Each structure stands twice: as structure tokens, then as C-alpha cells.
Amino acid sequence: MSGLANKKILLGVTGGIACYKSAVLLRALQSAGAEVRVVMTPAAQAFVTPLTFQALSGHPVYTELLDPAQEAAMDHISLARWADLVMIAPATADFMARVATGQANDLLATLCLATETQIVLAPAMNRQMWLNSATQDNLQRLIQRGYLCWGPDDGAQACGETGPGRMLEPEALCQLVENYFSPGTLQGVKVLITAGATREPIDPVRYVGNRSSGKMGYAVAESMRDLGAEVTLVSGPTALTSPSKITTIQVETAAEMYSSVMAHVDNCDIFIAVAAVADYRPNHIASNKIKKNKEILALELVKNPDILAEVAAKNDPPFTVGFAAETDQVEQYADEKRRRKQLDMIAANRVGSRVGGFESDQNALLLLWQDGREELPMMEKSYLAQRLAERIAKQFHARN
């Protein structure tokens, strides 16, 4: 592998148990051709000694901000400018909080302030710490400043709990670094994506909604961006952070999503409809909260426009990809939908079973296009989105 030949990567290691994996990451980056220098925080050195990273990288490890010997070898400003990419793996909650507030109280935090290079965080921490709104607020601030965040994964944690907060595996991180530096198969391609559920108001406090979390749509948007595409994401309300380097437009109802898509679609090459758009909306929205004074309350619903079908039926449509959630006869129903809506590709998933689907972090997809199919087995939505993005890129280029 030489996908990272001539690339200089500054690997920042902060103090979490996942830092034993950073040694493997260092090796993977080197095997891909990168030149790597390591900076460790004091807490990281409580888990792994600098000697480990020194022996693996073949270079001294930088640990001190005010050490004359280290500053003589390469001062912190030069080190900050040396790198083509600064990768913090693992990034602890404490480290994220410190850089979010612009602190310069150790060498690595100072480097983050002093560099104009892209900084990537690979967070690793206990799930409660990850989900804490303090951590999420800090992450949001960092993303707004242009930081990239890769992971974390969901799964078993060193503390014995299960949930989000595992650092991505070294091989996956290394692949993301390679994708970051590769020109991308979608360089210069404009992609429009819908994600999340829509909310159709009934009265000022209630709405008709569905269980879509938006995770799949956001992951697809990030994967298309990582292939080099210029991505616009039209999102219904979700609990997710707007991804960096993606134009995100927040909408609430199907009608708003429709208007937003129609305003942007003529300027896009690929349209991917991942959103779980409400098929119907209440015919009348009550102006006041509806009182519970009737035994039976009938709600009259009218059909919403089918955004995907309308885009595909345009005169000069973009490459259109739809999703199909089916409970049975998945392939047959999905393929019928693909043909009926004149889609270039459909991604079908089985819903209603215990694993995968709407609120889950995992999913499996069956991809169908005019003369081909690909089955993507159950995996994390972020990996699944990468595989889907690669397939869309391939079929897009084949059609053009």
C-alpha cells in the first residue's frame, strides 16, 4: 500500500485506554506510506510509554511544551506546520473540552491552536461521557471550526458498558485517512441528499412523525463528501450534529423538504432520497391545541408530494437513488418501486425485524440497479454508507 506516500501525519495521543490501539494505527499509517510523528499528552503516558511510539515511529516522541531539548529538535510551531494532517486518536472528552475552549496547557492542545492543517478527532470514551451534553456541545463547536470527527463506534467498552464511545478500529481510521488524501472518485460532483423524518403538524403542539433517526442519511452524506463530492443535505428534525464541510438545510415538513429539494435539484448530479418522508399530512392544522373532549377523533389526511418520484420524472434528472423499507418480499417490491419511480438505483432494507432499520446503529441493504445487484450484509451504518457511496459513484460514472 502506498496511498499515503509523502504524507506527513502528526498523531496526537491523549489519555484513554484506547491509546493502546494508537500504536497499531501508527503502524498502519506507516505501512500505507505516511511519515508519522507522535505527540503524547501527560495522561496518555500513563497508559503507554513514549518509548513504544518512539520505537515504532523511529523518531522521538514529543511530550513537553517547555522542554528546551524537544523545542530544539523541532519547536512546537514548526511541528504544527510540518503536518499535512493532525490526527488525535484517541481524543478524550477532556482533550475535546480543552481545545473547544482554546486552551494551550500542554503541547498537543497548543499545536491544535497553532496549526492551519486539518485536525481530525477519533473520540474514545465511556458512552455516558460521550452522550453528555457538555461533550456534544464541545464537539459541535469544534465541527463548526472545521474539525473532522471520525467515529466513535458503538459496542462493548473497556469499562464493561455497551454503547457509543469506542474508538474506530485502526484499520478503519487508516482507510479514512487514505480516503481523505485521495482525490476521490466524486471530485467536482454535486450531491443532494434528504435525511431524517418529516413532522406534519396536527395542531401547535402535535405532529404526525415516524421513527427515522436520520443516522443513515447523515452517514451517506458524510461518505459522499469523503469521496470528494460537494454535498447538500436537506434534513428533517434529528438529534444529530450537522456534519462538517456539508451544507445542511434544516426543514420540518414534507412540503418544506419538497421546496428545498426543488430549489437545489437542478444544480445537482446525484440525488439520494434517504428521508422517511411522511406520505400524508393532516388536511387542516388546528390553530389551537385540540381538546380531548371527543371519544373518537378523526384526522383527515391528504397525500404529500413524492419528492423522489418527481425528481426522477424531471426532463434531465440527476442520477437518482431511492430507499425502500419493506417488511417482506424485499427484492420484488423494491425492484417494482425502482422501475415505477424510474430510479437509477434503489437501496432496500428489511424493516420490522429485531436488528437493523430505523432507530438502530446497524443495517443491511440490498442494492438494485437496472442490470445489477449487490448485497451489503448487516454492519455499522457508517461502514454501510461507505459501501453504498462507493457503489453509487461506480454506477454514476458508468451511466455517464
Q: Contact residues for ligand C5P (CB under 6 A)?
A: 194, 254, 273-275, 277, 279, 304, 306-308, 322-324, 337
Residues whose CB is less than 8 angstroms from the CB of residue 392 and which lie 6 or more positions away in sequence, other chains included: 224, 270, 272, 319, 321, 345
Of the pair 349, 360, the CB lying nearest ligand C5P is at 349
Alpha-carbon span 177 to 332, nearest angstrom? 38
Cα angle at 244 between 242 and 246, to 5 degrees? 80
Q: Minimum CB separation from ligand C5P for residue 84, in Å? A: 38
Q: Minimum CB separation from ligand C5P for residue 208, in Å? A: 13
Q: Minimum CB separation from ligand C5P for residue 241, in Å? A: 21
Q: How far out from the chain centre does Cα 204 lie?
A: 33
Q: Minimum CB separation from ligand C5P for residue 194, in Å? A: 6
Q: Which of 19, 149, 159, 174 is catalytic?
A: 159
Residues whose CB is less than 8 angstroms from the CB of residue 175 and which lie 6 or more positions away in sequence, other chains included: none
| Region for 296 from its dihedrals, namely left if φ exceeds 0, alpha if ψ lies in -120 to 50, beta otherwise | beta
Pure H helices in the chain = 19-31, 50-57, 68-73, 76-82, 93-100, 107-114, 127-131, 133-144, 170-181, 215-226, 254-264, 307-312, 330-340, 381-399
268 in catalytic set? no
- The amino acid occupying position 200 is E
Q: Minimum CB separation from ligand C5P for residue 220, in Å? A: 11
Alpha-carbon span 378 to 362, nearest angstrom? 6
Q: Minimum CB separation from ligand C5P for residue 195, in Å? A: 9
- Beta bridge partners of residue 302, listed in sequence order: 281
Of the pair 171, 266, the CB lying nearest ligand C5P is at 266
Of the pair 235, 304, the CB lying nearest ligand C5P is at 304
Q: Is 38 helix (H, G, I), strand (E, B) or coil?
A: strand
Concatenating the DSSP letter of every residue in 97-158 gives HHHHTT--SSHHHHHHHH--S-EEEEE---HHHHHSHHHHHHHHHHHHTT-EE---EEEE-T
Of the pair 50, 317, the CB lying nearest ligand C5P is at 317
Of the pair 25, 348, the CB lying nearest ligand C5P is at 348
Of the pair 46, 302, the CB lying nearest ligand C5P is at 302
Active-site residues, by number, are 159
